[in-house]
Structure 1
């Protein structure tokens, strides 16, 4: 009887632990998804890199200062250029390379953010109004298009794309004809 109670209490403990682990694992998955979304957001990535860039710049300046002091001491004859003394001096080129790598990452983040912004502006420019969804018919937006207006806008965009395609196709035929004529 006592062993049965111990088994039951052990099973309840395992179930409780499993019950606690499920919400924790769900929270971990949500945090991972949030961090992955934030990694793709160039503005968030830029904000994360700024403190790293500041630390890297401080590191570059500190190493440059130490190296400058070390070289000045050697020039003044206070130190010799032995292997033991040079080992204490850190590599300036490595820290500068790290700084430039962070600068390059920041530049890429800014370019990506600019590209995203320009695409968003182009998107709102060429399709400024949304079609109201069928799931919320009671909330009609004043700026939204009717479906027939949306269809006519899409048809005009398709027509424009076909015109561009035909113009490029004709141009490629002319270029191909001139190239063949020149080869003969």
Structure 2
């Protein structure tokens, strides 16, 4: 361990580079932090989180799937070969360790499940975007503040959009309640 640098006095005299400047001697000397000291300060900054769409996530999982599938097939082939040697009473290759087929298969199915989840989410997002553009063809200004009446006829402010959504939800609930009441009136209660 390097303990020599740990016992540096706090009020040590530093040679002045500029003769005209006076440096305070009573307080601790301000030194530039070393790169090791600056490193912990980096996590304090908010991390840059790029929103990655689901299709990009599937593309990144595709590389892992391409690596996992041959490993799974290779371990399955080795297990089959070892079982064939055991069945043929051939001691050659029986003592060789065989990779775990169940772990490789589990990893393969896990990647497939993740890809399926991302693809289903992408399909749902596309369907919602199509429905939104069909039922609300106006663009929505992403600002949450109501800046007064919009000057464009083809744009809604965020509060206007939220009001439209609330009206659509209440309208759909009214239709649902009306249909339930009509169904109860038509069918005899038992």
TM-score by length of 2: 0.61
Shift in alpha-carbon separation, 1:20–1:88, aligned structure 2, 3 A: closer
Structure 2 residue ranges without an equivalent (≥5): 1-9, 15-26
Match 1:178 to one of 162, 185, 188: 188
Please state if 1:109 is matched with 2:118.
yes
Q: Give the alignment's Cα RMSD to 1 decimal.
A: 4.3
Contact 2:82–2:93 (8 Å) recurs in 1: no
Q: Following superposition of structure 1 onto structure 2, how do residues 34-113 of structure 1 map, counting pairs within 5 Å?
A: 34=49, 37-38=51-52, 41-79=53-91, 85=95, 88-113=97-122
Match 1:164 to one of 175, 179, 186: 175
Following superposition, the deviation at residue 129 of structure 1 comes to 1.4
Structure 1 residue ranges without an equivalent (≥5): none
Equivalent residue, structure 2, for 1:3 = 11
Structure possessing the higher radius of gyration over alpha carbons: 2
| Secondary structure, aligned partner of 1:77 | coil
Equivalent residue, structure 2, for 1:25 = 43
TM-score by length of 1: 0.63
Following superposition, the deviation at residue 98 of structure 1 comes to 2.0
